[in-house]
């Protein structure tokens, strides 16, 4: 293999730059050229290609977002769009692709592989909702960002003796809410995987009040439902002043943690090694300390379950 390409797609995640850097430098180390594709699959269709060298990935390991930019491409969802992408790649002499992104990006990668371009997926998404890997690039950073926000909000909650509902990202999955809730000592955690029960939340608050606790942090994942309604319900049922804080986009950016940078570096390098070994249609994952790879189609059919032990533990520790 003489020339490969790398792209980032779907939502941006801290650590994507570290992964791009690892792909570019590992490939060049093995005398393989690297093309950076701008704006994910949209850039593939429109031939937005940039030749990468060692300098193009200098000074990016610590930066959030992605220097290649990212996009969600409707065109790529069509057979015609994908054929045009393959045509552009062939014209540019691209023989393999590393696609960094979430499960949608992996579906795209699998489709491209079927059209003859060997493709490897690297899990880059803050949601951590990809099967076959205990961690995705960006998750550790977002959890730390949310914990930092909880710490700050808790100061106000304690001072004013108030209940705070904090909404965090996770449209379909509660991994961020669970990890940040456990680390931040939230009194209640509501996630889409486990039916929301506001009565239990209010019982927790009352139990806390009975033993002299005068504030509460309730962490709610986006996917649970209308957080304003949930907040109103808590106010009504508890009769206590409740404030809502929606963290929103401050969660997605920011400098990646050391853990995310190391994970991204290892996964990016492994993706290139697999391509050079002639492997294809794989996704990279981590289990324990070990970097592994899985058939991407098979992986997409698996479901990543929430860790119920951790969920129950968070409940026990917040009594």
Minimum CB distance to ligand ATP smaller for 127 or for 260: 127
# residues contacting ligand ATP (CB under 6 A): 18
Q: Measured from the CB of residue 110, what is the shortest distance to ligand ATP in angstroms? A: 8
**11 touching ligand ATP, by CB under 6 A:** yes
> Does 107 sit near ligand ATP (CB under 6 A)?
yes
Please, what is the minimum distance in Å from the beta carbon of residue 136 to ligand ATP?
8
Instruction: Kindly name the residue from 12, 127, 129, 140 that is annotated as catalytic.
Output: 127
Q: Is 164 in the site for ligand ATP (CB under 6 A)?
A: no
- Beta strand pairing call for 282-287 and 119-123: parallel
Rounded to a whole number of angstroms, the minimum distance from the CB of residue 45 to ligand ATP is 9
Q: Where are the alpha helices (DSSP H) in 56-174?
A: 79-91, 103-114, 139-160
Indicate which single residue of 3, 46, 63, 72 sits in contact with ligand ATP (rule: CB under 6 A).
72
Identified binder of ligand ATP from the candidate list 17, 26, 105, 251, rule CB under 6 A: 105
Q: How far is the CB of 134 from ligand ATP (least distance, A)?
A: 16
Indicate which single residue of 23, 25, 76, 96 sits in contact with ligand ATP (rule: CB under 6 A).
76
Residue pair 120/110 in contact (Cβ under 8 Å)? The answer is: no
Read off the tokens for 81. Answer: 């769009």
Would you say 257 and 13 are in contact if contact means Cβ atoms under 8 Å apart?
no
**For the chain, where are the E strands, in sequence order?**
3-8, 33-37, 49-52, 96-101, 119-123, 163-168, 188-190, 216-221, 242-246, 282-287, 290-295
192 lines the binding site for ligand ATP (CB under 6 A): no
Residue 127 as a binder of ligand ATP (CB under 6 A): the answer is yes
Is residue 294 part of the contact set for ligand ATP (CB under 6 A)? no
60: phi then psi, degrees, rounded to nearest 5:
-120, -10
Determine contact, residues 237/163, Cβ cutoff 8 Å.
no
Judge contact between 167 and 247, C-beta under 8 A. yes
Are 37 and 130 in contact by the 8 Å Cβ rule? The answer is: no
Task: Give yes or no for a contact between 106 and 130, defined as CB atoms under 8 angstroms apart.
Answer: yes
Does 80 qualify as catalytic in the annotation?
no
For residues 141 and 254, the answer to whether their CB atoms sit within 8 Å is: yes
Find the shortest distance in angstroms from Cβ 219 to ligand ATP: 20
b/e per residue 43-81 (b: at least 16 CB within 10 A): bbbbebbeebeeeebeebbebbbbbbbbbbbeebeeeeb
Binding residues: 11, 21-25, 72-73, 102-105, 125-127, 154, 162, 169-171, 185-187, 211, 213-215, 222, 243, 249-252
77 in contact with ligand ATP (CB under 6 A): yes
Binding residues for ATP: 11, 72-73, 102-105
Pick the binder of ligand ATP from 21, 41, 128, 257 (CB under 6 A): 41
Compare residues 153 and 168 and give the one whose CB is closer to ligand ATP.
168
Give one DSSP letter per residue of 258-305, joined into a string.
HHHHHHHHHHHHHHHHHHHTT--SEEEEEETTEEEEEEHHHHHHS-PP
Nearer to ligand ATP, 125 or 231 (CB): 125
In angstroms, give the least distance from the CB of 129 to ligand ATP: 7
- For binding to ligand ATP (CB under 6 A), which residues are involved? 9-11, 41, 72-73, 76-77, 101-105, 107-108, 111, 125, 127
Residues belonging to the active site: 127
């Amino acid at each position: 293999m003489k020339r490969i390409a790398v792209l980032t797609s779907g939502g941006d995640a801290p650590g994507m730059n570290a992964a791009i850097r690892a792909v570019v430098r590992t490939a060049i180390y093995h005398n393989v050229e690297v093309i950076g594709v701008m704006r994910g699959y949209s850039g593939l269709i429109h031939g937005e290609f940039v030749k990468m060298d060692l300098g193009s990935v200098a000074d990016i390991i610590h930066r959030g977002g992605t220097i290649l930019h990212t996009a969600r491409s409707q065109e790529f969802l069509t057979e015609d769009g994908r054929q045009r992408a393959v045509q552009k790649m062939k014209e540019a002499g691209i023989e393999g692709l590393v696609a960094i992104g979430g499960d949608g990006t992996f579906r795209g990668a699998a489709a491209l592989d079927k059209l003859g371009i060997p493709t490897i997926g690297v899990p880059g998404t803050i949601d951590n909702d990809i099967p076959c890997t205990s961690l995705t690039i960006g998750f550790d950073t977002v959890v730390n960002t949310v914990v930092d926000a909880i710490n700050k909000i808790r100061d106000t909650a304690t001072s004013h003796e108030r209940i705070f509902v904090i909404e965090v990202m996770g449209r379909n999955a509660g991994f961020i809410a669970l990890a940040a809730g456990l680390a931040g000592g939230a009194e209640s955690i509501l996630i889409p995987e486990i039916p929301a029960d506001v009565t239990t939340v209010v019982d927790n608050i009352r139990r806390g009040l009975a033993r002299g606790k005068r504030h509460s942090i309730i962490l709610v994942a986006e996917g649970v439902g209308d957080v304003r309604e949930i907040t109103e319900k808590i106010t009504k049922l508890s009769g206590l002043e409740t404030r809502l804080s929606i963290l929103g986009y401050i969660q997605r950016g920011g400098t990646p943690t050391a853990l995310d940078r190391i994970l991204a570096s290892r996964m990016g390098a492994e993706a290139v090694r697999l391509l050079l070994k002639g492997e294809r249609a794989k996704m990279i994952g981590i289990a324990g300390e070990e970097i592994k790879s899985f058939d991407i189609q098979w992986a997409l059919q698996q479901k990543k379950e929430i860790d119920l032990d951790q969920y129950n533990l968070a409940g026990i520790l917040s009594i």
